[in-house]
Chain A
Amino acid sequence: MILQFFWIFGVIAMGSALLCITRKNPIASALWLVVTLFSIAALFVLLDAQFLAVLQVLVYAGAIMVLFLFVIMLLNLGRPGPSDIKGPLGIGVAVVLGAALLFLLQPLTRTTLPSAITLPPGSVPLLQEHQGIVGSVAYPLFGAYLIPFEIASVLLLAAIVGAVVLAKRKL
C-alpha cells in the first residue's frame, strides 16, 4: 500500500517536473514546480520524515516559491513573447547529456546498503515514538550538529545583507 502511494506521488513529482521545464511561461513553470515540491513533501511523509514534509511545504512551496513568483511578476515576465527554449541543436545536446546522466545514475535503484551500518527496519519510527517527531530531529540538530547550525545562521544573515545591498537601486 505504501509502495503504491509512493509511486503515485513519485510519478506526479516527475511529471510535473517535466512540465515545469517545458512550459514557455515562467509563471506556469513556477506553479508546476510547486506541484513537484508538494509531491516531494508527500514522499517525505512516506519516508518517515513528517517534520521535514511540513518544512518542505512551509519553506519551499511557501516562502521560496512565493519569492520566485514575486520576482517573475515584478519583472513582468509572464506576458506572451518569444520562447526561451533553445533551438534544435540545444535540445539535442540537452537530451544527449540528460540521457547520459540518467544512464550513470540508474544503478542507484539497485542500491544495497552494507548490513553493518544499516539500522533494523522500523527503528526511525521507534525513535520518533520515544523522542517525538520534532525531537528526533532536534536532539541531533542542537547536539552533534550545533556548530553547523550556528554557521547556517551566519550564512542566512550574510544572505539577508547581500540581498538588500544587491537589490537596492543606489547605496
Chain B
Amino acid sequence: MLLGPALGISAVLFTLGVFGVLLRRNAIVIFMCVELMLNAVNLTFVALAQNLGVGGQVFVFFVMAVAAAEAAVGLAIILAVYRHKQSVSLQNMNLLKDG
C-alpha cells in the first residue's frame, strides 16, 4: 500500500541529491548530498523489505556501515585538502588540469 509513495519519495530525494551535487561547489555540501542519495536508496530498501522480506532491512545496515566509513575517510581527505589549499571549493582543485 505504501510502496508507490515510498518509491516516489525516494526517487525525489535521490534526484535532489544529484541536483545538489551538480549545483554546489563546496566539497562538504556535495558530500552531504551524497549522504542524501544514500538515504534515498535506504528508503527504497526498507519499502521493498515490507513486501519482499526483512533481507532488505539487513542491507540498510551495510549501507549505513559503508556510509559511516565513507564519511570518516571523506572528511579526512577534505581536511587534508583544506590544509594544502586553504579552501574546500572544488573550483580550486585543478591540479590535474593545468599542473
By a beta-carbon cutoff of 8 Å, the part of chain A in contact with chain B is 2-3, 6-7, 10, 13-14, 17-18, 20-22, 26, 29-30, 33, 36-37, 40, 43-44, 46-49, 51-52, 55-56, 59-60, 63-64, 67-68, 71-72, 74-75, 77, 84-86, 90-91, 93-95, 97-98, 101-102, 105-106, 108-111, 113, 117-119, 121, 124, 127, 136-137, 140-141, 144-145, 148, 152, 155-156, 158-160, 162-164, 166-167, 169
B15/A64 in contact, CB under 8 A: no
Q: Select one of A14, A46, A52, A109 contacting B57, CB under 8 A.
A: A52
Contact between A85 and B68, CB atoms less than 8 A apart: no
Question: Is B65 among interface residues, defined by CB-CB distance under 8 A?
Answer: yes
What string of 1s and 0s marks CB contacts (under 8 Å) between B13-57 and chain A? 111111110111110110111011001001100111111111101
- Check B72 against A67 for contact (C-beta < 8 Å): yes
Question: How many A-B pairs fall under 8 Å by CB?
Answer: 232
Q: Mark B66-78, 1 if CB is under 8 A from A, else 0.
A: 1111111101111
Contacts of A48 in B (CB 8 A): 50
Q: Which residues of B contact A (CB under 8 A)?
A: 1-9, 11-20, 22-26, 28-29, 31-33, 35-36, 39, 42-43, 46-55, 57-58, 60-62, 64-73, 75-80, 82-83, 88-89
* Bound form: Cα–Cα A93–B58 in Å: 37
- In the complex, the answer to whether A163 meets B24 with C-beta atoms within 8 Å is no
The verdict on A105 contacting B15 (CB below 8 Å), with A68-B75, A84-B89, A167-B80 known, is yes
Instruction: Enumerate 11 A-B pairs (CB-CB under 8 Å) in ascending A order.
Output: A14-B16, A18-B16, A20-B32, A22-B23, A33-B35, A47-B6, A49-B46, A49-B60, A98-B16, A105-B15, A111-B4
Given contacts A14-B12, A71-B28, contact A156 B68 (CB under 8 A): yes
Tell me, in angstroms, the Cα distance from A167 to B51 when the chains sit together: 43
Q: Tell whether, in the assembled complex, residue B29 and residue A47 are in contact, meaning their CB atoms are under 8 Å apart.
A: no
- Expressed in whole angstroms, the Cα–Cα distance for A78 and B15 within the complex equals 26
